[in-house]
């Protein structure tokens, strides 16, 4: 029992994700937001007789996009943390909301690693650990590709020796 | 006769030769009639060629599945082989058989047949034998389930048991089935209060309205004169008659549906499984292995609760959708009793829940009021657009807010959690009161999810992930430290490396 001394709190997982995650998130947010803002601006310019307040909305959208691109990756880098102990996987993620996920390694069913084209450019990889529950997959986003390989190898080694059908 | 292990391949019941053509003719009827009409209009000479074809083709098509489908039992597996051009063989290890479901439509029952579905614990992957003679289907079910139930007898630790014959033959006598619940027709009083069949009535009304459009009486002139007549004499009477009519048809549909669905309802425990049978026209027989039942869900929809009724479902792994309704709408005591029997402990369904406190109440209210405000704003915009009096908007907004406050308060009252020695219990629901009980052994992970609003006031949604039922059990709006302590106690050791005590 850990609730003997004071109120129990969940401590942050031990490791941060790769620092290269910040430029990666910036670039992917930039691409998405730029498309959205350009589309909105084009629509505003091309549609004749659009009332003035629509222009304000488009402007607001642009400002929000800039804030999103500048702020989100930094907050996210501070929040995202992960840890793989001998018995459990623990991650924390989010930037407005916050999610902590814990799964016992004995119940892990698959360990996947994924590397998109943009992630490869930044030398990053993501790991997804699934359990028998559809609500339970745990993703460790944007690890250093080298670290990701080690973690996958370690997880696979541990899960290989666990018995049972993990339900 | 079902094959014993070692026998060769066996066909399905020969009566399937009658079943499939009837089904095939039913499906082919419309195209055949259309073709016949077309042919007869063009030329009568083709009739002698066409008619036999129209009758023989379904017969031949119907015979193919029977000719090509075989099954057999080996010492370790049940195997089904089917297909004419593409041969498929499905096998299931006998010790992996989790459920054996029997189903018979009206046509099946006239022919004395039953459809057998064997589930092996992997979702969506079931072996289907359509159809066996009813007695064979029962025998197959018993064989499969008993075989699984006697598996532990091979365990060396149990082999020394004094009552066990040395060579394992004959098999140990099975404990008699235990009756958990059977239909009690006084439960029919709950049928009108269960709204699950409202959809059917709405559908029927939709069909009727389509039809009413074509009625000759329905033109503008009659409508206006009828309206005048109604206005002048009998608004109250007409409304009363219409409501009474709707009420009566609702009661008839609800009671009729209840009778058709739950006729001969029986829930027993045998061979380490829960065995459920019901149905008037289509009979269903569902078997769920008890070791795979990880919990239950007790639901009291608002209307049903007024008259003291409840529904019960089991949460299991390896069943098609995980949530199996095992009781019709019935008295709450019965549902709690059966739920307690399934869980082998009555506490989880009767213990009071730990409340989540004033901040959770604020969240529950806020969540509902937010929806009401959005709707009020939409109504205001619409009123401005269509130039409707603001008094109506104000009245609507007040009504919405009152309803939202009531629903919010109800949602908070239903909220709660508790932990017994083997079960995690979560209370939820807005209009319905829902109590979800999950074995702590079935928890395979935790998610603490906080929205921005929740973070500001130190609350969290705690989700226990599981392979059973809906695969998640949500404890909503609980204080973060309470959530951590709850998760820590429910799965001892799992959170220990990640928990520290804040002073």
- Residues A87, A154 within the same domain: yes
How far does B502 lie from chain A, in Å, by closest CA?
A: 6
Q: Please judge whether B444 and A107 are an interchain contact, meaning their C-beta atoms are less than 8 angstroms apart.
A: yes
In the predicted model, is pLDDT for residue A106 greater than 80? Answer: yes
Report the 10 Å Cβ neighbour count for B108: 22
Burial class (CB in 10 A: 0-12, 13-18, 19+), B405: middle
Nearest to B500 among A9, A94, A167 (CB): A9
The answer to whether B323 contacts chain A (CB < 8 Å) is no
Confidence of residue A47 (pLDDT cuts 50, 70, 90): confident
Kindly list the residues from chain A whose CB atom is less than 8 angstroms away from the CB atom of residue B446.
100-103
Q: Which SS3 state, helix, strand or coil, does residue B217 take?
A: coil
The answer to whether B450 contacts chain A (CB < 8 Å) is yes
Cα–Cα–Cα angle for B235, B241, B242, nearest 5°? 90
Q: How many angstroms separate the Cα of A140 from the Cα of each of A109, A143, B289?
A: 16, 7, 36
The answer to whether B216 contacts chain A (CB < 8 Å) is no
| Contact predicate B290/B274, CB 8 Å | yes
Residue A138, domain CATH: 2.30.29.30
- Buried-exposed string B91-101: b where 16+ CB fall within 10 A, e elsewhere: ebebebbbbbb
User: What does the pLDDT read at residue B110?
Assistant: 84
Q: What percent of chain B has pLDDT over 90?
A: 15
Choose the final residue of a domain: A26, A45, A77. A77
- Residues A44, A104 within the same domain: no
Q: Phi, psi (5° rounding) for residue A69?
A: -65, -40
Q: How far apart are CA B154 and CA B248, in angstroms?
A: 59
Most confident of A1-5, B130-134, B167-171: B130-134
Average pLDDT, chain B: 80
Q: How far apart are CA A47 and CA A61, in angstroms?
A: 18
- Residues A85, A156 within the same domain: yes
- Residues A121, A88 within the same domain: yes
List, in sequence order, the alpha helices (H) in B322-389. 332-343, 347-350, 358-386
Q: Phi, psi (5° rounding) for residue B333?
A: -60, -40
Residue of A nearest to B293 (CA): A167
ipTM of predicted complex = 0.88
A1 is a domain residue: no
- Kindly state the tokens that stand for B288: 């769920």
Mean pLDDT of A53-57: 85
Contacts of B35 (CB under 8 A, 6+ apart): B50, B54
Q: Please judge whether B497 and A85 are an interchain contact, meaning their C-beta atoms are less than 8 angstroms apart.
A: yes
Q: How far apart are CA B329 and CA B255, in angstroms?
A: 11
User: What does the pLDDT read at residue B442?
Assistant: 87
- Encode pLDDT of B441-481 as tens digits: 888 889 999 999 898 988 999 999 988 888 889 999 999 88
Q: Which SS3 state, helix, strand or coil, does residue B493 take?
A: coil
A11 is a domain residue: no
Confidence of residue A3 (pLDDT cuts 50, 70, 90): very low
Candidates B293, B454, B494, B498, partner chain A, best to mutate (most A CBs within 10 A):
B498
| Contact predicate B491/B482, CB 8 Å | no
A134 is a domain residue: yes
Q: How far apart are CA B226 and CA B286, in angstroms?
A: 54
- Residues A21, A36 within the same domain: yes
Which CATH number, 1.10.3470, 2.60.120, 1.20.58, 2.30.29, labels domain B10-151?
Answer: 2.30.29
Nearest to B485 among A3, A107, A167 (CB): A3
A8 is a domain residue: no
User: What does the pLDDT read at residue B336?
Assistant: 92
Please count the residues of chain B: 503
Burial class (CB in 10 A: 0-12, 13-18, 19+), B78: buried
Q: What percent of chain B has pLDDT over 70?
A: 81
Choose the final residue of a domain: A27, A61, A77. A77
Report the 10 Å Cβ neighbour count for B64: 14
Confidence of residue B160 (pLDDT cuts 50, 70, 90): very low
- Residues A45, A103 within the same domain: no
Contacts of B441 (CB under 8 A, 6+ apart): B294, B422
Q: How far is CA B489 from the centre of its chain?
A: 31
Q: Please judge whether A133 and B447 are an interchain contact, meaning their C-beta atoms are less than 8 angstroms apart.
A: no
Q: How many angstroms separate the Cα of B98 from the Cα of each of A94, B118, B349?
A: 39, 8, 26
The DSSP element (H or E) to which B486 belongs, if any, is helix B480-490
Residue B110's Cβ-side half-sphere holds a number of Cα atoms within 13 Å equal to: 6
Q: How many angstroms separate the Cα of B56 from the Cα of each of B21, B24, B28, B31, B262?
A: 9, 11, 12, 15, 39
- Kindly state the tokens that stand for B323: 């949530």
For residue B450, list its beta bridge partners.
Answer: A98
**Domain spans of chain B?**
10-151, 358-413
| Contact predicate B249/B255, CB 8 Å | no
In the predicted model, is pLDDT for residue B5 greater than 80? Answer: no
Kindly list the residues from chain B whose CB atom is less than 8 angstroms away from the CB atom of residue A109.
none
The answer to whether A14 contacts chain B (CB < 8 Å) is no
Which residues of chain A from 75 to 104 reach within 8 Å of chain B, CB to CB?
83, 85, 87-88, 90, 94, 96-104
Closest CA to B444 of A9, A46, A100, A137: A137
The answer to whether B124 contacts chain A (CB < 8 Å) is no
Helix B16-42 and helix B47-68, axial crossing angle in degrees, nearest 10: 160
The answer to whether B317 contacts chain A (CB < 8 Å) is yes
A90 is a domain residue: yes
Mean pLDDT of B416-439: 91
User: What does the pLDDT read at residue B207?
Assistant: 64
- Residues A110, A55 within the same domain: no
- Encode pLDDT of B377-408 as tens digits: 888 888 888 877 788 888 888 999 999 999 99
User: What does the pLDDT read at residue A60?
Assistant: 92
User: What does the pLDDT read at residue B66?
Assistant: 83
In the predicted model, is pLDDT for residue B50 greater than 90? Answer: no
- Residues A123, A155 within the same domain: yes
- Residues A106, A124 within the same domain: yes
Worst-scoring range by mean pLDDT, B131-145, B193-207, B325-339? B193-207
Confidence of residue B221 (pLDDT cuts 50, 70, 90): low
Choose the final residue of a domain: A45, A77, A109. A77
User: What does the pLDDT read at residue B40?
Assistant: 62
Cα–Cα–Cα angle for A66, A68, A71, nearest 5°? 100
**Dihedral of CA B132/B135/B138/B141: which sign?**
negative
Quote the domain boundaries for residue A138.
Answer: 81-161
Candidates B445, B472, B502, B503, partner chain A, best to mutate (most A CBs within 10 A):
B445
- Residues A61, A101 within the same domain: no
- Encode pLDDT of B278-300 as tens digits: 888 888 888 888 888 889 999 99
- Which contacts of B308-314 are long-range, i.e. CB under 8 A and separated by 24 or more positions? B308/B332, B309/B190, B309/B193, B309/B194, B310/B335, B310/B336, B311/B194, B311/B335, B312/B338, B312/B339, B313/B469, B314/B274, B314/B288, B314/B342
Mean pLDDT of B80-95: 80
In the predicted model, is pLDDT for residue B319 greater than 80? Answer: no
A62 is a domain residue: yes
Q: How many angstroms separate the Cα of A37 from the Cα of each of A34, A61, A95, B67?
A: 5, 7, 22, 64
- Residues A89, A152 within the same domain: yes
User: What does the pLDDT read at residue B153?
Assistant: 40
Confidence of residue B206 (pLDDT cuts 50, 70, 90): low
Kindly list the residues from chain B whose CB atom is less than 8 angstroms away from the CB atom of residue A99.
447-450
Confidence of residue B183 (pLDDT cuts 50, 70, 90): confident
Please state the domain count of chain A.
Answer: 2
Q: How far is CA B202 from the centre of its chain?
A: 21
- Residues A71, A109 within the same domain: no
Nearest to B448 among A5, A10, A96 (CB): A10
Kindly list the residues from chain A whose CB atom is less than 8 angstroms away from the CB atom of residue B493.
87
The answer to whether B4 contacts chain A (CB < 8 Å) is no
Q: Please judge whether A2 and B480 are an interchain contact, meaning their C-beta atoms are less than 8 angstroms apart.
A: no
User: What does the pLDDT read at residue B474?
Assistant: 92
User: What does the pLDDT read at residue B192?
Assistant: 86
Confidence of residue B53 (pLDDT cuts 50, 70, 90): confident
Q: Please judge whether B472 and A87 are an interchain contact, meaning their C-beta atoms are less than 8 angstroms apart.
A: no
Closest CA to A148 of A121, A102, A114, A110: A114
In the predicted model, is pLDDT for residue A64 greater than 90? Answer: yes
Confidence of residue B91 (pLDDT cuts 50, 70, 90): confident
For residue A17, list its beta bridge partners.
Answer: none
In terms of phi and psi (left: phi > 0; alpha: psi -120 to 50; beta: otherwise), the region of B126 is: beta
């Amino acid at each position: 029992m850990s609730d003997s001394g004071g109120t129990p709190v969940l401590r942050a997982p031990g490791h941060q994700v790769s620092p290269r995650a910040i430029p990666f998130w910036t670039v992917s947010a930039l691409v998405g937001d730029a498309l959205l803002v350009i589309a909105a601006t084009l629509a505003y310019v091309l549609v004749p007789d659009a009332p003035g307040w629509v222009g304000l909305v488009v402007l607001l959208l642009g400002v929000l996009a800039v804030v999103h691109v500048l702020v989100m990756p930094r907050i996210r880098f501070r929040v995202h943390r992960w840890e793989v102990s001998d018995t459990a996987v623990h991650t924390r993620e989010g930037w407005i909301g916050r999610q902590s996920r814990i799964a016992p390694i004995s119940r892990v069913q698959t360990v996947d690693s994924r590397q998109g084209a943009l992630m490869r450019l930044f030398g990053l990889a993501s790991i997804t650990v699934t359990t028998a529950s559809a609500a339970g997959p745990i993703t460790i986003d944007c690890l250093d590709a080298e670290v990701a390989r080690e973690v996958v190898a370690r997880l696979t080694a541990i899960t290989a020796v666990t018995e049972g059908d993990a339900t | 006769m079902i094959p014993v292990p070692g026998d060769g391949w066996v066909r399905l019941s020969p009566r399937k030769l009658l079943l499939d053509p009837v089904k095939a003719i039913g499906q082919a009827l419309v195209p055949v009639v259309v073709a016949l009409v077309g042919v007869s209009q063009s030329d009568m000479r083709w009739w002698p060629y066409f008619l036999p074809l129209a009758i023989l083709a379904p017969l031949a098509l119907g015979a193919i599945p029977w000719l090509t489908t075989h099954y057999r039992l080996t010492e370790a597996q049940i195997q089904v082989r089917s297909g004419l051009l593409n041969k498929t063989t499905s096998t299931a290890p006998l010790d992996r058989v989790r459920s054996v479901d029997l189903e018979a439509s009206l046509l099946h029952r006239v022919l004395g047949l039953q459809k057998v579905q064997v589930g092996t614990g992997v979702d969506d992957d079931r072996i289907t034998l359509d159809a066996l003679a009813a007695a064979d289907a029962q025998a197959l079910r018993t064989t499969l389930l008993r075989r699984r139930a006697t598996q532990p007898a091979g365990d060396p630790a149990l082999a020394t048991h004094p009552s066990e014959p040395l060579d394992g033959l004959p098999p140990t006598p099975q404990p008699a089935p235990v009756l958990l619940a059977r239909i009690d027709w006084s439960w029919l009083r709950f049928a009108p209060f269960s709204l699950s069949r409202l959809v059917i009535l709405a559908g029927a009304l939709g069909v009727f309205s389509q039809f009413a459009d074509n009625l000759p009486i329905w033109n503008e002139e009659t409508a206006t004169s009828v309206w005048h007549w109604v206005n002048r004499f009998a608004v109250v009477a007409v409304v009363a008659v219409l409501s009474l009519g709707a009420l009566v048809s609702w009661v008839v549909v609800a009671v009729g549906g209840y009778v058709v669905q739950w006729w001969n309802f029986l829930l027993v425990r045998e061979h380490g499984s829960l065995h459920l049978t019901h149905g008037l026209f289509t009979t269903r027989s569902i078997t769920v292995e008890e070791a795979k039942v990880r919990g239950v869900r007790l639901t009291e929809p608002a209307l049903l609760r007024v008259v003291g009724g409840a529904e019960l479902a089991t949460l299991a792994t390896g069943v098609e959708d995980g949530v199996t309704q095992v009781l019709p709408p019935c008295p709450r005591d019965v549902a709690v009793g059966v739920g307690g029997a399934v869980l082998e402990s009555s506490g989880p369904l009767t213990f009071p829940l730990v409340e989540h406190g004033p901040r959770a109440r604020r969240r529950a209210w806020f969540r509902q009021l937010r929806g009401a405000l959005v709707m009020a704003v939409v109504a205001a915009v619409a009123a401005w657009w269509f130039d409707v009096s603001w008094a109506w908007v104000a009245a609507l907004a007040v009504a919405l807010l009152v309803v939202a406050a009531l629903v919010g308060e109800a949602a908070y009252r239903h909220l709660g959690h508790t932990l017994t020695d083997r079960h995690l219990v979560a209370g939820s629901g807005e209009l319905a009161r829902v109590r979800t009980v999950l074995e702590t052994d079935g928890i395979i992970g935790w998610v603490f999810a906080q929205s921005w609003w929740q973070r500001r006031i130190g609350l969290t949604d705690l989700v226990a992930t599981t392979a059973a039922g809906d695969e998640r059990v949500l404890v909503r709006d609980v204080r973060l430290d309470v959530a951590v302590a709850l998760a820590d106690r429910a799965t001892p050791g799992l959170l220990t490396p990640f928990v520290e005590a804040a002073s």
